[in-house]
Chains A and B, each alone.
Chain A
Amino acid sequence: MEDILKQIALCVEKGKIAREFPHPAELAGQDGVYELTQRALESGIAPQEILSQGLIAGMNKVGELFQAGDVFLPDVLVSARALSMGMMHLKPYFHSGAVKHKGKVVIGTVQGDLHDIGKHVVSLFFEGGGWNVIDIGVNVTAQKFLEAVAEHQPQAIGLSALLTTTMVNMEPITRMIKTTHPGVMVILGGAPVTQSFADRIGADCYSPDPQGALEFLNKHCS
């Protein structure tokens, strides 16, 4: 049992989606996450174990490598694609309650900013870490964040901004969330954001990379 979970984790890490994909060269012709997850379920391994010890473990490794600068965005994207193949098999178990997310995160790019790739990559890491991500898009007002928090009751919200001119819009959102939902953690990310800025506006976490934000979520919100 342990072997197949390790294989799933390795395939997520290496971006081995399914047998038919030649990438990566060293795993060409072998089963990928798609086949291995199916086989693991057929052999009776609990879906929750497949998720945590296979899929999430693999994505976590990618996160560590990405944080260290040892892998790059294409590696992350292909790993996330591989992970999604495994998730396809687990979907019915999420519906039945046999598999549970660690919690919910509402994520969006703040008002004034249309930039979406950073938010997308962070979402991939959060999902790959076992979190249910509600992406409310770009150019999101404080009011829309508030409505999303009221509707989805997340443990945390993630705010993204690309520009110094839009970063300032993180402050009213953070203030409103902290006033109305003090238990909801506020996580900031984006090129111009710094720890001192996050401290000044009262956010709970700033991370320069997605893995740091995921580690904060796992430690403080689950």
Chain B
Amino acid sequence: MTSREVLTAIVKDKRCPERMGLHESFWQDTQREWEKQGLPPAVNILDYFNLDVREIQGSLFRTTSIPVDEQVVDEDEHTVIKVNGWGAKFREWKNRPGVPEHLSFDLVHEDVWKKKYRENLLELDPRRFPDLEKLKESYRAGMASDRFCVYYQLIIFEIMRKAMGDLILLEAMYLSPRWIHDFCDIVTNNIIIHLEYMIREVGKPDGIWLYEDMGYTKAPFVSPALYQEFIFPYHRRVADFIHSYDLPFIMHSCGKIRPLLLHIVEAGVDGLQALEAKAGQHVVEMAEATGNKIAFMGNLDIRAFESNDQKTLEAEIVPKLRAIKEKRIPYVFFSDHSIPKSVNLETYRYALDLHKKYGRY
């Protein structure tokens, strides 16, 4: 079976084909480090490791109210300060990944939303696609391959966090509920309008992969009740749209989202990715709780990879794959994070060997 057939069976149909899916994401400096350990220079790392999924480059359209890329407004030796199209200011590292520091936000009140930001989001705006021709080219190349190709994008909660920051957003759910509902409604429609445009102008992919970080190690950012009130209706609307094209909806979320799991399934998410193990989540328990109504991707504890110890890695991976096989859980082999440079190339290769050996249904 091709990557496309395997992933379609797992994520869209929730079936177990001949093997478990295989995918991964890597920190930007991992490949450079691995080249020092013997990885051939400048390879496409996804092709090199024969991974199943391809994100169609250019499909990450601009979701900020003002459709511009982040602008650098200041910098020092190690960091840059950027402003995004919501007027929010962040400090980021120049040459390495990491969570940015929140410096200031313009969108602090419903009045600012209505005066400056709401109007821009009401209609289709092709400027949100920086390079439509490149996107078409990337789509053609991806779909001509056997890989499972996805459009990828941020979604509602993640967009709110970038617009107003965690603190304002989380407080506003209680103190300005009308504003949050209006924001979610307008932004959801805007996402749908532009996904629809992309499908019409560029083509239909194999799936749509949306990024929505809703948890940290200890808990979800919001309670199940707040999820149900403020996020669920909009996830549902997006899911209905995606399903209207007979496509699967894959959602990424870091952190502990187990308390939201049944709501996420009800919203119509087809595949859930990351499933952080250090947040106390276990893919088999989650699958049992959902009755295999959703496919899972991830949950292989990154700390076991970072140990660079084959026994530790085996102890993490092998029992999970055996249980996944035994219980027929639609699953894609994936760490619960992304691979940092502290993981040795040899360790990652060994993980792939384990997938090959134990990752067949």
Interface residues of A (CB under 8 A from B): 15, 17, 21, 23-24, 69, 71-75, 77-78, 81, 112-118, 120, 138-139, 162-166, 191-192, 208-209
Can you name 14 A-B pairs with beta carbons within 8 Å? A23-B175, A24-B174, A69-B218, A69-B219, A72-B223, A73-B219, A73-B222, A78-B174, A114-B98, A117-B102, A162-B98, A164-B340, A165-B342, A208-B218
Give the chain B neighbours of A138 by CB distance below 8 A: 101
A-B contact count (CB 8 A): 79
Q: Answer whether residue B303 sits at the interface, using C-beta atoms and an 8 A cutoff.
A: yes
A162/B99 in contact, CB under 8 A: yes
Q: Could you tell me if B99 and A74 are in contact, using CB atoms closer than 8 angstroms?
A: no
Known: A81-B171, A117-B167. A74 touches B101 (CB 8 A): no
Q: Is the CB of B93 within 8 A of A114?
A: yes
Q: Is the CB of A164 within 8 A of B101?
A: no
Contact A163 B98 (CB under 8 A): yes
Question: Quick one: closest A residue to B78, CB to CB?
Answer: A139
Q: Provided the pairs A23-B174, A73-B170 are in contact, do residues A209 and B218 lie with their beta carbons within 8 angstroms?
A: yes
Cα of A114 to Cα of B81 in the assembled complex, Å: 12
Give residues in B with beta carbon < 8 Å to A.
Answer: 79, 91-93, 98-102, 166-167, 170-171, 173-175, 216-223, 226, 278, 303, 306, 340, 342
Enumerate chain B residues within 8 angstroms of A23, measured Cβ to Cβ: 174-175
B98–A164 CB distance below 8 A: no
Q: Which residues of B contact A69 (CB under 8 A)?
A: 218-219
B167–A71 touching, CB < 8 Å: no
Chain A residues near B222: list those with CB within 8 A.
72-74
> What's the minimum C-beta distance from B20 to chain A, rounded to whole angstroms?
27
Across the interface, A71 reaches (CB within 8 A) one of B98, B221, B223, B342, namely B223
Given contacts A114-B92, A164-B342, A191-B217, contact A77 B98 (CB under 8 A): no
Given contacts A74-B173, A117-B167, 11 further A-B contacts (CB under 8 A): A23-B175, A74-B170, A75-B174, A75-B223, A114-B91, A114-B93, A115-B98, A116-B101, A118-B216, A120-B167, A165-B340
Across-interface contacts of A208 in B (CB, < 8 A): 217-218
Report A-chain residues with C-beta under 8 Å of the C-beta of B99: 113-115, 162
Assembly CA distance A24 to B174 (angstroms): 8
Q: A69-B219, A71-B223, A114-B99 are in contact. Are A78 and B171 (CB under 8 A)?
A: yes
Instruction: Say yes or no: A164 contacts B221, CB within 8 Å.
Output: no
Q: Are A72 and B101 in contact (CB under 8 A)?
A: no
Write out the residue numbers on chain B whose beta carbons fall within 8 Å of the beta carbon of A115: 98-99, 101
Alpha-carbon separation in the docked complex, A126 to B101 (Å)? 21
